[in-house]
Structure 1
Amino acid sequence: GYEEGGQLTEAVRRRPFSVVLLDEVEKAHAEVFDLLLQVLDDGRLTDSMGRVVSFKNTLIVMTSNLGADAIVELADAPEEEMRAAVMKALHGFFRPEMLNRIDEQVIFRRLTRDHVAQIVRLQLKDLEKRLAERKLTLEVTDGAIDVLVREGYTPQFGARPVARAIRKLIEDPLSYRIIAGDFASASGVVVEPDGDALRFRKVAEHEGQAPA
C-alpha cells in the first residue's frame, strides 16, 4: 500500500545484515535493474515513505540462466572458451554499468551424475525424517539412486527434476502402500531397482528383511 515501505527495503531495514537472493534475475522488470544499479552504486535505497535504507552490510547474490546453452554445448571445452561464451551472453543482456559494479561473476559448470546422486541423497533426508515419525527407517540402495539419477537429471535442466522423480518413484507409491497397511508390521523400508522403476522391500520387526 501507499503507506508501506517496499518489500526489499523493509526487509533490509529490519535486518541489515542479510543475504538477498535474486533468482533468475534476467526475468526481472527493467525498473528492477535501475534500482539494483542504485544499490550497487550508492549502497542505499529510498523507500516510498522517504526513508533511506542502507545496503552496506547486505550481500546481494544474483543467479541467471544466461549462457546456460553455452555451458552445455562447451561442457568438454577448455574453461576459458566456456567462460568467454557465457560472458558474451551476459554482456549481450546487461548494461556495462551493471556488470562493472558486480564484485564477482561465478560461472558453474553443468552438474555431473555424481553431483546429482549427492543431491538425490540430500533430498531423501526429508523423506527419511518423515518416515522416522512413523517409526519406519528408509534405506535406498545405490542401484535405486542410479534409477533416480537417470529419471531426475537432464543436461538442460540440471537437477531440477530430481524432486519430481523422488515423488513419482518413491513418495507417491510408498504413501499408497503405507495407507493400505502394507507396512503396518514393518520397522523399515528398503528401496531397490526394478528395471527403470523401483520396488519396496519391508524390514519386518525382529525378522530382518522380508519382501514387500
Structure 2
Amino acid sequence: KLIGAPAGYVGYDDGGLLTDAVRKSPDCVLLLDEIEKAHSDIFNILLQVMDYGVLTDSKGRKAHFKNVILIMTSNAGAQYASQASVGFASTASAGSAMLKQVKHTFKPEFINRLNEIVVFNDMDEQMAKLILGKKLRELNAKLAAKSVSIALTDEAHQHLLKSGYSKEYGAREMDRVIQQQLKTMLMREILFGKLKKGGEATVDLQNGTLTIKQS
C-alpha cells in the first residue's frame, strides 16, 4: 500500500499511501515507529529512498524525498541495555549493549545508510515531572473549551508522578495513569456532576484515590 497496488489489483487507482503523502508534502518529517517490526519489503523500499532520494509508485509516478527528514525508532536492544545497566555498569555500557543488538537486528546495508544512530536514556524522575507538567497543561487547555479548569494539590501531583513513572514503559505509562485516574473522573463530573456548567475544580488525594471538589 505504501507505493500502491499493482495493476489489476484492488486499490490500484488509490495510489500509494507513502508516495502520495510525500508528493503532497515534499518538505516533511517522516517518522517510522518500531521499524524492527516492519516486513522485509519495507526495508527494500527504504533502501531505495536512502540511495536515490526517489520512490516510484505502481503507476510509475515519482515521489522525491530530497527534502524529507527520515526518522526511525526502534526498541531493539532495549532489554539488553537494561541488563547491562544493572550493578556497577555505566550508562555508556548500556548504550553499547543496545547498539550491539541494533547491529544484530538490522542488516549491514541498512545500517550503513543511516546518518546517525541515537540512543536515548531511560526516563528519569526529573523528566517524568516535566512530562506530567506538560500533560496537565494540555489537559487544562482542552478543558477550557468546556469552561473548566483544574488545579492539583501537591499530594495529587505526587500521586500521579509516582504512579506514572516507569523506566520500562516511559511516557506511555504516564498517559495511561492520567487517562484512568484523572480524565475518567473529570469527564464523569463534566457530564453528570459538579462541573456540568463548568467552573474551577481542585484535584486532591484521599486514602490513595484522587478526588475532585469544585473551588
TM-score, structure 2 as length reference: 0.86
Q: 1:99 to 1:135 in 2, by over 3 A?
A: same
Q: Distance in 1 between matches of 2:196 and 2:111?
A: 59
Amino acid at match of 1:66: A
Q: CA RMSD in A?
A: 2.0
Deviates more, 1:143-152 or 1:80-89: 143-152
Question: What's the counterpart of residue 8 of structure 1?
Answer: 18
Could you tell me whether the CA contact under 8 Å between 1:117 and 1:149 is conserved in 2? Answer: yes
Matched, 1:145 2:152: no
Could you tell me whether the CA contact under 8 Å between 1:191 and 1:200 is conserved in 2? Answer: yes
Question: What's the counterpart of residue 111 of structure 1?
Answer: 123
The alpha carbon displacement at 1:84 in A equals: 1.4
Residue 50 of structure 2, aligned match among 40, 46, 51: 40
Question: What's the counterpart of residue 146 of structure 2?
Answer: 134
Q: 1:57 to 1:131 in 2, by over 3 A?
A: closer
Q: Distance in 2 between matches of 1:48 and 1:112?
A: 46
Deviations 1:153-193 (A, max 9, x none): 32221121212211221111222233333246873111122
The alpha carbon displacement at 1:145 in A equals: 2.1
SS at match of 1:133: helix
Question: What's the counterpart of residue 121 of structure 1?
Answer: 133
Say which structure is richer in helix: 2
Q: Distance in 1 between matches of 2:123 and 2:186?
A: 28
Question: What's the counterpart of residue 207 of structure 1?
Answer: none
Question: What's the counterpart of residue 6 of structure 2?
Answer: none
Matched, 1:28 2:38: yes
Q: Distance in 2 between matches of 1:112 and 1:195?
A: 27
Deviates more, 1:51-60 or 1:101-110: 51-60
Could you tell me whether the CA contact under 8 Å between 1:144 and 1:198 is conserved in 2? Answer: yes
Question: What's the counterpart of residue 189 of structure 1?
Answer: 201
Q: Distance in 2 between matches of 1:6 and 1:179?
A: 42
TM-score, structure 1 as length reference: 0.87
SS at match of 1:3: helix
Q: Distance in 1 between matches of 2:30 and 2:98?
A: 23
Question: What's the counterpart of residue 173 of structure 1?
Answer: 185
Matched, 1:155 2:161: no
Residue 70 of structure 2, aligned match among 53, 60, 71: 60
Amino acid at match of 2:72: M
Q: Distance in 2 between matches of 1:3 and 1:172?
A: 43
Could you tell me whether the CA contact under 8 Å between 2:47 and 2:110 is conserved in 1? Answer: yes
Deviations 1:46-99 (A, max 9, x none): 111112222111110000001111333344632331221011111111000110
Matched, 1:94 2:106: yes
Could you tell me whether the CA contact under 8 Å between 1:24 and 1:62 is conserved in 2? Answer: yes
Q: Distance in 2 between matches of 1:196 and 1:72?
A: 30
The alpha carbon displacement at 1:149 in A equals: 2.1
